[in-house]
Structure 1
Amino acid sequence: MSRRRARRVALLAVAMLAVLPVVAARAVEPTADAVTLDRVQVTSARLQSVPAFDVPASLSVVTLDGTAARPGVSVSEALDGVPGLAARERQNFAQDTQLSIRGFGARSTFGVRGLRLYADGIPATMPDGQGQVSHFSLAGAERIEVLRGPFSALHGNSSGGVVQIWSADGVDPTQGHVQASAGRDDSRVLSASVRGAGDMLGGALAASRFETDGWRDHSAARRTSLNAKLHAALPGGGRVQLVGNHFDAPDAQDPLGLTAEQVRADPRQATAVALQYGTRKSARQDQLGLRLEQPLGGGHALEAMAYAGRREIEQFLSVPVGAQSNPLSSGGVIDLDNDYGGLDLRWRWAGSLAGRTLEFTAGANADRQRQHRRGYENFVGDALGVRGALRRDERNRVENVDRYAQAWWQFAPRWSLLAGVRHSQVRFRSRDGYVSADNPDDSGRVDYAETTPVLGLTFAPHADWRLYVSAGRGFETPTFNELGYRADGGAGLAFDLAPATSTNVELGTKWRTAGGVQIEAALFRADTDDELAVARNVGGRSSYRNVGRARREGAEIAAVLPFGADWSLAIAATWLDARFRDTFPICTGAGCTDPSVQVPAGASIPGTTRRQASARLQWEPGDWRLALEAVAVDRIGVNDTGSEQAPGHAIANAEAARSWNTARGRWRAFARVDNVFDHAHIGSVIVNEGNGRYYEPAPGRGLLLGLRWDWQSGMD
């Protein structure tokens, strides 16, 4: 899609939103099942008694009720309609979903960084800021929460935004589901769940299995996930919850990115070196977490959380044999074992100050990650894509100790204040076990510390209208992957990197009606000092440097508009201008070691798009559900110099579902056509890829068929 066409699509979405208040004023009276927003409690704001509508922050809740005509494999499936958030599915299951919020996290080439991730309240982001969403289980999930803006900083290091997934609790009577679906490229998904509860004890179990041959060559994958939750009531209104999950994805093939010429020739091809070296990745994770909530009387309550887990990664890269002749090379096979765990303890008090409602929270948390990183050659003799000689052996440790406090005070009938502060200490330690005459000891340590205050003010001119302003500071340390290689090519870790610090401001409004209309809009700006960016790519390895100032600013708007009992329209649009504000030198081209090319001040931050919009029109007459979707994305820069961009695109999707109630439960058959008009486009990009293979093409038109059975005990 041309830039002009992308602009028209985005402007059309914004124009439609501009007339929503007028249309909503004529909406029908509320139905019996209309949503009441003030009952929504969003835990990512760390507030217990304050509804999301009154929080001076951009908060989105995506309900996962089992009615989506989706396979339920990736978290990106549920996030299309969240403003300010980009969730790009790579069609490469050897790499994690690309997530970014308001430009934070956009430059990540693997995993998720710059954002805080949680599953059932347990961190999925390590203390160094690197996170994963691969183990997020949609099979038994109840909702996803997305927090954007300054108050994300209350979650600590790398909090450009917060994404949380919550699994469903056990219920009485016992109920569950079985779902099967099949789609293009011989993709199959089977999932099931069961939930039950008694007077004191409840539990839920969900499992899924996914297999695909892959849309691109050399992209077959298999994933198995299991999520279990056990919860029990405690005397005095308390609650304890035990959550465990298992994730296994062996030998997911990696087709790597393509150049622009390769995309034009055949977007389904794999890079030649991917086939030559058999690039692939295996991931396995097991995790257990315990949460406790206990009222203490007098408005006081205690909350505690403890978790521990292990994640194992083995990845075969396409690092050329010649590049590994360098005695400082780490080889072409990554063998990474991660043991991690942490504690969080907080005290909460709900009372009053000067006769006005007050909620106060104070707490501390500590997290630790122990990493054993080994590197091996990816060849033995003439055989490529096999584990060879050891080239790296180090034990890394990163840990944080944070203390935080926040208070929400409704100091006047129409005014409320939310204030908080967090002090974080992050410590990195590395002990090198691979030392030789040509490869010196790389051991080292570095400590970071930062205090991040936030403040927000909310005004309620009407019971269903809020205006708010918020401001705060955040920070982002380099991850261990970014510390791994020095920009000057010398031995040792890049302990000279400084954390990036940001000042964030947001001005927003929220509006709702009794008929279920919801409209939210926000203006935002984040100014960053010591922005981290790629310095060079050599021998399959990226090194980083601090490049000075950056700015991310923009606007976002989202609306849900029901038309009577059967029709609804949901729209989201985002405008983002993300730029470097200082000039800095970089390397360009494969093997470059001299950063002599200057990136000018004002250059766009790669991985970000200036405009994106989505719309979903849904019709539910009786037992049917029909929906049309449209998604438009402006062009995406792929490197710091801006010499290339992934072109913008607009695609349409359609779905239909039919439900039947029977004596043995409710059956639901569904069909979905993605990319109805078979539009060729780029799904995601690999920022600053050293060989110019920036592009990961998205699939053409595809059909998904599925069947779901929801059952409940006691049915005849």
Structure 2
Amino acid sequence: MRILALLFTFLFLSLSAAAQAQLKVADAENGEPLENVLIRHQQSGQQQYTDSLGLAPVPWKLPAEVIIYLPNYSSRQLLLPDSGHLPTILLYPLSGQLPEVVVQAYEQHRSILEVPGSIQHLAPREIGRFDQTSLLASVNVVPGVRLEQRSPGSYRVSIRGSSIRAPFGVRNVKIYWNGIPFTEPGGDTQLNFLDLVNIDQIEIIKGPAGSLYGAGTGGALLLDTETDAARTEAGYLGGSYGLQRVYAKVQTGEPANRYGVRVAHQQTDGYRNHSAFSRTVAQLNTEHQLDEHRQLELNLLYTNLFYQIPGGLNPEQYQEDPRQARPGSAEKNASINYDVLISGLSHEWEYGDWRNQTTLYSYLHYFDHPFNTDYKKENTLAGGGRTIFQYGFDWGRSSTTLTAGAEYQLQQRSALNFDNEEGLPDTLNFSDEILSSQYLFFAQAEVELPQQWLLTAGLSYNRLRYEIDRLYSRNGFGADDGPIVFEPALAARIGASKVFRPEVSLHGSISQGFSPPGLDEVRTNEGSLNTTLAPEQGWNYELGIRGHLLNHRLYYDLITFWFNLNQTIVSYQDASGVVLFRNTGSTLQQGVELWLDYLLLQPESGFLEELRFRQSYTYHRFLYQEYARNGQSFEGKYIPGVAPHTLASSISLNSRVGLNLQADWQYVADIPLNDANIVFAESYHLLKMKLGYQLPLKEFSAEVFAGADNLLNEVYSLGNDTNPQYGERYFQPAAARSFFAGIRLQF
């Protein structure tokens, strides 16, 4: 019924969008509007040209056959349909060069060659290149980054090993969506609230980014929904293990007033027993140009999320039948249920050398979570805001930009914990009212010097506070008197870059990272309050070189880093399987990350339109320096949960007859799973492929595609559990070989 409802919604929105007739031409690589594009009416020979927004009037009677041409781009000949809403025309560059990448990270809005930092940009074309069910395929080719999926819908993001303290969800990584702080005050992020339909562009900041984004030693993710192009798109996908996905999105309106609606539903029975998943999302986004100086943006997101938790397996169960669930998971109905409503309002103004962007947001969510050991129910109300001021001025031969701002988050949660009686809440164990607040103030100076030198320096002041009011405790666990307040923390960052000719840049940075314990780390599932946990703190040193070779056909990015982290927080499990946390002294985290993007071929004519190759390599050497437990020293041991070597390759082939091929291969080395480095997850190779065909239709664009994941049928675990105290339940098996097929329509 949800799929039918979404299809009816899509048809209604399509009819509504048809009321506006406009033609827009954009760059297929980056979505930017193209100016001075020639549009020639075949019958009369009359011509029109696009303006700076990529828009052109269409004075001819429709339907009309036109030729669209711009030097150094592929030309198009097509029939404009008899409709008030004309499709956005995408032209591919024929320059034989990779497009320039401009990043927003650290509020610098510069070419990636100039930015002193480790940043990866994922354009719309690179997101959801395969089955479009998750970010796995897009993110896991990025060096130093690993997206894990313990079961469908249960994601864990690791940037340079940041997931070592995250048994579930996302921790130690700050995430923003359309400028809205998506990470809770305590540091947890539910990335599974978002579908790919809500994400068009991603920037990944690797390493401590606290000088501008607050707590988190792993880095930050900046997720954005684009509203520029007027278009209508819909698609359906089906696959193995009961996979179904349907989505629709409509972008319409004038440049001064843009409107967008996006809806999606995805479901699967899951590869393992008791691993079904269902998610429905609906998003409304609008942009309004109030005047030449001011812009207003609204984002609303509703998510209904459900997924079952099959649980971890011990080595014998893993080898015997990786599809089985942990004993008791089905009987206890171990699962996650969320209803979430998020709203955000952003106002941006620019007057002369001054600029400000202010975002206010709120979210409500209801959480229902039966698990093998207990049953949790929570209601959360949260809100906050973020404001950024920028002022730019010239000082002699130098150009300076000053950035300053603040962010505040307040969260109120009512949390109940029950016994689990065959999947239903039974006796109440404890009940809490929790108030979490976090704020940060930040400032940054950026100085552009002659000879293409760029210097940056930033500093933030951060404070986190929990107030836990224990209303009832069955087992005697009580809350300490007074709030739990962590000492204010300063996070500093300095960086420098130098661009050489031809197109080579060197950059280095020193940054301070810190991360206080999250709410679920302080308030544990068995009822105790772990007030002895100390925040993680450390310094990161980074040096890199990036640039272009072969006439901008090859882009390379090589980074090396050294991160010394003190009071590192890691997870372990007690006898009943409850996840607990402890500080482990200090750790040394070193690594090398390499990214290559090579445009092998892009001929101006012939069968082949483009052949592109991407390669990444990650080397991580993460060791305990000072850590002893129960009289045993783990000094020099590898930190569990981090692969020392990861290699990923991807190839994209597009032809002028409409055929396209995507293929990815990934190798992950053995991963230690306990502090003593006795148990390892074995290395594995993943191979996935997708073949698509662009149908030769005139009135709209249609692509049919089919593909396969895990073609080598590897048995592997994508999201291992570390340090289980009893039961040895280390493994969360991923799906075996699977297939999918679907269709995508663009109007």
What does 1:220-369 align with in structure 2 at a 5 Å threshold? 220-250=276-306, 252-297=307-352, 299-319=353-373, 332-369=374-411
Cα distance in structure 1, aligned partners of 2:463 and 2:479:
26
TM-score normalised over the length of structure 1: 0.87
Q: Which residue matches 1:42?
A: 103
Other structure's SS at 1:377 match: strand
Cα distance in structure 1, aligned partners of 2:739 and 2:245:
14
For residue 444 of structure 1, report the CA deviation from its aligned partner: 4.0
Give a deviation string over 1:273-328, Cα, whole Å, max 9, x none. Answer: 1122221111121100011110022x111211110001221111112xxxxxxxxx
Other structure's SS at 2:457 match: strand
For residue 99 of structure 1, report the CA deviation from its aligned partner: 0.8
Identity %: 21
What does 1:386-401 align with in structure 2 at a 5 Å threshold? 386-401=424-439
Structure 1 residues 483 and 444: alpha-carbon distance in aligned structure 2, compared to 1, 3 A threshold: farther
Cα distance in structure 1, aligned partners of 2:702 and 2:126:
11
Contact 1:69/1:657 (CA < 8 Å) preserved in 2? no
For residue 610 of structure 1, report the CA deviation from its aligned partner: 0.2
Cα distance in structure 1, aligned partners of 2:476 and 2:618:
51
Other structure's SS at 1:681 match: coil
Give a deviation string over 1:433-486, Cα, whole Å, max 9, x none. Answer: 004694445554222211111000111221511001100101010011110149
Contact 1:137/1:227 (CA < 8 Å) preserved in 2? no
User: Are 1:574 and 2:618 an aligned pair?
Assistant: yes
Q: Which residue matches 1:205?
A: 261
Other structure's SS at 1:77 match: helix
Cα distance in structure 1, aligned partners of 2:567 and 2:152:
32
Letter in 2 for 1:123: P
Which of 526, 535, 543 in structure 2 is aligned with 1:499?
535
Q: Which has the bigger relative contact order, CA under 8 A and spacing at least 6?
A: 1
Q: Which residue matches 2:415?
A: 373
What does 1:674-713 align with in structure 2 at a 5 Å threshold? 674-690=709-725, 691-711=727-747
For residue 187 of structure 1, report the CA deviation from its aligned partner: 0.6
Give a deviation string over 1:544-588, Cα, whole Å, max 9, x none. Answer: 222210111110000110112121110011000111111221xxx
For residue 688 of structure 1, report the CA deviation from its aligned partner: 2.3
Structure 1 residues 499 and 470: alpha-carbon distance in aligned structure 2, compared to 1, 3 A threshold: same
Contact 1:170/1:197 (CA < 8 Å) preserved in 2? no
Structure 1 residues 260 and 444: alpha-carbon distance in aligned structure 2, compared to 1, 3 A threshold: farther
Which of 474, 481, 484 in structure 1 is aligned with 2:523?
484
Which of 94, 103, 111 in structure 2 is aligned with 1:31?
94
How many residue pairs end up in the alignment? 644
For residue 542 of structure 1, report the CA deviation from its aligned partner: 2.8
Question: What 5-or-longer segments of structure 2 have no aligned partner?
Answer: 1-92, 603-609
Q: Which residue matches 1:632?
A: 667
Cα distance in structure 2, aligned partners of 1:451 and 1:349:
23
Contact 1:442/1:492 (CA < 8 Å) preserved in 2? no
Moved over 3 A (4+): 32-36, 65-69, 150-153, 435-444, 513-516
**529-538 or 466-475: bigger deviation:** 529-538
User: Are 1:421 and 2:459 an aligned pair?
Assistant: yes
Give a deviation string over 1:370-418, Cα, whole Å, max 9, x none. Answer: 1211101112xxxx22111211110111111211011211122231101
Cα distance in structure 2, aligned partners of 1:538 and 1:399:
33
User: Are 1:657 and 2:715 an aligned pair?
Assistant: no
Cα distance in structure 2, aligned partners of 1:333 and 1:67:
36
Question: What 5-or-longer segments of structure 1 have no aligned partner?
Answer: 1-29, 320-331, 586-595, 712-716
Structure 1 residues 34 and 227: alpha-carbon distance in aligned structure 2, compared to 1, 3 A threshold: farther
Cα distance in structure 1, aligned partners of 2:475 and 2:515:
35
Other structure's SS at 1:45 match: helix
User: Are 1:155 and 2:204 an aligned pair?
Assistant: no
Cα distance in structure 1, aligned partners of 2:296 and 2:463:
29
Cα distance in structure 1, aligned partners of 2:185 and 2:113:
31
Q: Which residue matches 1:603?
A: 637
Give a deviation string over 1:605-639, Cα, whole Å, max 9, x none. Answer: 11111000100122212111113221000111222
Contact 1:71/1:189 (CA < 8 Å) preserved in 2? no
Structure 1 residues 419 and 260: alpha-carbon distance in aligned structure 2, compared to 1, 3 A threshold: same
What does 1:154-193 align with in structure 2 at a 5 Å threshold? 154-171=212-229, 174-193=230-249
For residue 76 of structure 1, report the CA deviation from its aligned partner: 2.2
Structure 1 residues 536 and 629: alpha-carbon distance in aligned structure 2, compared to 1, 3 A threshold: closer
For residue 641 of structure 1, report the CA deviation from its aligned partner: 2.2
Letter in 1 for 2:433: R
Which of 144, 150, 161 in structure 2 is aligned with 1:84?
144
Q: Which residue matches 2:54?
A: none
Other structure's SS at 2:163 match: coil
Other structure's SS at 1:625 match: strand
Contact 1:213/1:221 (CA < 8 Å) preserved in 2? yes
Letter in 2 for 1:450: A
Letter in 1 for 2:611: W
**498-507 or 73-82: bigger deviation:** 73-82
Which of 678, 691, 696 in structure 2 is aligned with 1:643?
678
What does 1:95-174 align with in structure 2 at a 5 Å threshold? 96-151=154-209, 153-171=211-229, 174=230
Other structure's SS at 1:97 match: strand
Give a deviation string over 1:150-188, Cα, whole Å, max 9, x none. Answer: 4454311124211122112043xx311111011100110
Other structure's SS at 1:179 match: strand
For residue 604 of structure 1, report the CA deviation from its aligned partner: 1.3
Other structure's SS at 1:662 match: coil
Letter in 1 for 2:620: L
Cα distance in structure 1, aligned partners of 2:129 and 2:219:
27
Cα distance in structure 2, aligned partners of 1:369 and 1:82:
33
Structure 1 residues 667 and 206: alpha-carbon distance in aligned structure 2, compared to 1, 3 A threshold: same
Letter in 2 for 1:606: P
Letter in 1 for 2:628: F
**345-354 or 79-88: bigger deviation:** 345-354
Letter in 2 for 1:397: L
User: Are 1:467 and 2:506 an aligned pair?
Assistant: yes
Letter in 1 for 2:650: R
Which of 573, 597, 601 in structure 2 is aligned with 1:560?
597
Contact 1:443/1:492 (CA < 8 Å) preserved in 2? no
Cα distance in structure 2, aligned partners of 1:662 and 1:92:
35
Q: CA RMSD in A?
A: 2.0
Contact 2:568/2:583 (CA < 8 Å) preserved in 1? yes
For residue 540 of structure 1, report the CA deviation from its aligned partner: 3.5
